[in-house]
Structure 1
Amino acid sequence: MIDSHAHLIASDPARYPPSPLSGTLEDGALDNPVTAERLIALLDAQGIERALAVQRAHIYGFHNDYVCDAAAAYPDRLRALCMVDALAHDIRETVRYWLRERGSVGIRLTEPHKGADTSWFASKAALRAWETVAELGGSVRLHFYRWNREAALQALLPVLKSFPDTPVVLDHFSNIAGESGAPHYGVDEALLALDDEPNVYLLYSMINLGKLASLDLPAAPVVERVVRAFGAQRVMWGSDVAQSKGNYADMVSLARASVASLSAAEQQHVLHDTASAVYWER
């Protein structure tokens, strides 16, 4: 297995000072940090091969030093994914720095505040980030919230067509309402409009699995529905450790249960091969 959505928190706030994007730092977020060393121990305990260290934006903002330092220190186990502001005036230089100089496998973009329009990832200014990522052979990760996902998915389609060779990963199944039940499990027309775009990948995590578990709903039908729409080669799992609450062993257990209705080959793609192809083999 590969964990394609593991957050890290440093134990040295002097070297890696918190700088939240907005609001106040969550109570207790730094009290029991999931450092790179602790994450690797968790991976080893669960038999997980590798992990993608995803910037914890609400703690470190756009300062991606810790995930990059961690990936550099443990190159056989970790890769880094950096958070950037695509509308920053120096975004081209910023993307080049994190990808070319610091070794990030790509960038992650998320809505700056509730109610924002889609300019944060789909405007002419934001496309400078996409262009630079494409030049460097990196990937783009997008986090849509439920309150903006339909508009965001619609705005994404023309962007995908402009960058057909850039892998685009949608966090948390684009935040579909998997709990809505059969037959669609939240896989709506807005998401299905992207199923013919081969560079679109879907990641699911405890954001999805935890919600379903809290409602005593099985995750396997939701995962299978997405796999049937997009193919197992375009679906991957990540834990969301260090953000989602809970024991890592339980997160892994939920992940394994979530693929129970898939074939062995499909399970291999979802739990390992898709992430490996996007983040390690390019």
Structure 2
Amino acid sequence: MDFVDAHCHIISADTSSYPPAPLGGKQSAWAATRPVTAEGMLARMDETGIDQAVLVQATTHYGYDNSYVLDSTRSRPDRFVAVGTVDPLLPDAADSLKAAVGEGGLAGVRLFTSGSTVPTQGEWFVAPETFPFWERAAELDLPVCLQMRLGAATGQLVELLERFPGVKVLLDHIGYPDIAASPARAGAEVAALGVHPGLHLKLTHRNLERLHDAGEQAADFLTPVVEAFGAARIAWGSNLPAAEQSLPELRALAEGVLAALPEADRQEIFAGTARRLYPQLARRDA
């Protein structure tokens, strides 16, 4: 089985070259207590049998300064691609986005609208001021990771997907569906979004832990979601080091929860989807 980690974070030990600048001024606890450098990530990947990884900007440590993920990717282009954080509300967001991609640049971008340090779900990601950004992302065929929580903002997500059907949107942590309360209800909520062909799901420990706890009822979530999206629109990411477990433990968690899926589906989730979303990975792997 081939493995690509579609969601991990790195923090440099060199605070002079890469000074912290967390979004909103608040650093996440994991970034302060268990940071992992690019070199440390490579060592963990080698230990775990993970070929390549998508370095997702640690927004709650570096904010909009994507220097470290870019420099790390440029030093090991065979193993990494970079997803940076941008501000789509800026008047020059579309032009800046075009300048940031290409050889040695960003392979994708991330909008951080909710998370551990931003508990209130922002709905600015679909404000009219962002429309030039979304149009440019579609033009560039650039995946946009959207860190948000399903619920009150699901309507805004649907509006976005309908307005910009050509954009590839990758929903971080599947939007935190409430699997613990009801796997079936959460599965139906997520599956309903499968009608939007540009929407992809990023399956991480945030979901996998809840599915593991659900036992046999995990199928009540997984079955409708995989049927609605297809494995080719689902990608696994470890979320290391925001996740407290080791990388081997996180891989084992994912393999255990997904064990009942056909091998072809698991191969898509563990590598195929990521390589299509980020074709730089496929070219460098070849």
Shared fold by TM > 0.5?
A: yes
Alignment equivalent of 1:125, drawn from 129, 143, 150: 129
Q: Deviations over 1:33-65 (max 9, x none)?
A: 311111111111111111000000000001111
| Equivalent residue letter for 2:155 | Q
Partner of 2:272 in structure 1? 273
- Does the aligned pair in 2 maintain the 1:237–1:270 contact within 8 Å? yes
Partner of 1:97: 99
Matched, 1:144 2:145: no
Partner of 2:9: 7
Deviation at 1:212?
4.7
Retained in 1: the 8 A contact 2:195–2:228?
no
The CA distance in 2 between the partners of 1:79 and 1:256, in whole Å, is: 23
Distance 1:28 1:76 in 2: 27
Report how many aligned residue pairs link the two structures: 275
1:224 positional shift? 3.8
What secondary structure does 1:51 align onto? Answer: strand
Structure 1 pair 156/251, CA: closer, same or farther in 2 (3 Å)?
A: same
Gaps of 5+ in 2: none
Please tell me the residue identity of whatever aligns with 1:171: D
RMSD between aligned alpha carbons? 2.3
1:135 corresponds to: 139
Identify the range of structure 1 (128-137 vs 13-22) with the bigger mean alpha-carbon deviation: 128-137
State the partner residue of 1:166.
167
1:116 Cα deviation after fit: 5.0
Aligned-residue identity in percent: 33
**Contact persistence 1:7–1:54 (CA under 8 A):** yes
| Matching of residue 230 in structure 1 with residue 234 in structure 2 | no
- Structure with larger RCO (C-alpha < 8 A, sep 6+): 2
1:36 aligns to 2:38 (yes or no): yes
One-letter code aligned to 1:192: A
Shifted more, 85-94 versus 65-74: the winner is 85-94
More helix per residue: 2
Residues 1:203 and 1:117: Cα distance change in structure 2 (over 3 Å): closer
Q: Secondary structure at the match of 1:107?
A: strand
Structure-2 change in CA distance of 1:14 and 1:218 (3 Å): farther
Secondary structure of 1:42's counterpart equals helix
- TM-score (normalised: structure 2): 0.87
> Does the aligned pair in 2 maintain the 1:220–1:260 contact within 8 Å?
no
Which consecutive residues of structure 1, in runs of 5 or more, have no partner in the other structure?
none
**Alpha-carbon spacing, 1:264–1:79, altered in 2? closer, same or farther (3 Å):** same
The whole-number CA distance in structure 1 between the counterparts of 2:257 and 2:132 is: 37
Say which SS state the counterpart of residue 179 (structure 1) adopts.
coil
